[in-house]
Amino acid sequence: MKIICIGRNYVEHIRELNNAIPSEPVFFLKPDTALLIRNRPFYYPSFSADIHYELELVMKINKVGKHIQKQFASSYFDEIGLGLDMTARDLQENAKKKSLPWAVAKGFDQSAPISRFLPKNRFSDLKNINFHLDLNGKTVQKGNSGLMLYSFEDIISHISQYMTLRTGDLIFTGTPAGVGPVKIGDMLEAYLEDEKILKCEIK
């Protein structure tokens, strides 16, 4: 399986990192070795001094598809969860400056803690899903799927023009504003609507 992540999908987050609003979805990959499941702790890696959290809605792909038209895209996922796109911001900024790839900054081991998944039919309106992240009990990120520049369907359609989607692939849909650093001892807790479905202690 592969993990595909959308960058720059919420205007407020684009502004906080001084990036430009993209004319089409920007995406990058994490390897399957980035996955961190079952609320296991995240071990702060020695190669970075500036690891950031980015809470994102995640779609789980349920069948193979390529060149998917937007009007059929919603049938390619039936579960939604939450994921943390853990980012070595210092390595990413360095890569950006040198126009180098983000593979290390975004794809290192454990850089993709994910929650369990919920059936998407639990949500009456996919364009109005609330989610938020608490850091040590204080809310630091609040998102709503209605604020995404590119919808779930836009994203599936776009990615599948270039890469075949397969059952089990995960798509991180971008982070809202409020990203920030973690330190050892921190506790991240993520909520989909009001249900806590992801927890990640930084060790």
Count of chain residues binding Mg ion (CB under 5 A): 3
**Cβ proximity to Mg ion, 17 vs 187, nearer residue:** 17
Contact 58, 171 (CB under 8 A): yes
**Cβ proximity to Mg ion, 65 vs 110, nearer residue:** 110
Q: Which two tokens stand for residue 76?
A: 């390619």
Which 75-94 residues touch Mg ion, going by CB under 5 A?
A: 85
| Cα(63)–Cα(168) distance, integer angstroms | 8
Q: Which two tokens stand for residue 42?
A: 């995240």
**Cβ proximity to Mg ion, 64 vs 100, nearer residue:** 100
Q: Which of 92, 110, 111, 175 binds Mg ion (CB under 5 A)?
A: 175
Of the listed pieces 25-33, 37-45, 50-58, 94-102, which binds Mg ion according to CB under 5 A?
Answer: 50-58
Minimum CB separation from Mg ion for residue 106, in Å?
A: 8
What is the DSSP secondary-structure string of 174-195? ---S--EE--TT-EEEEEETTE
Residue of 79, 80, 3 lying closest to 34 (CA atoms): 3
Contact 43, 182 (CB under 8 A): no
**Cβ proximity to Mg ion, 65 vs 89, nearer residue:** 89
Minimum CB separation from Mg ion for residue 155, in Å?
A: 13
- Beta-bridge partners for 91: none
**Cβ proximity to Mg ion, 65 vs 114, nearer residue:** 114
Which 93-112 residues touch Mg ion, going by CB under 5 A?
A: none
In the complex, which residue's CB is closest to Mg ion?
A: 85
Q: Which two tokens stand for residue 147?
A: 């604020």
Contact 5, 172 (CB under 8 A): yes
Q: Which of 10, 34, 48, 54 binds Mg ion (CB under 5 A)?
A: 54
Of the listed pieces 39-47, 122-130, 167-175, 190-198, which binds Mg ion according to CB under 5 A?
Answer: 167-175
Contact 125, 151 (CB under 8 A): no
The residues that touch Mg ion, with contacts defined as CB under 5 A, are 54, 85, 175
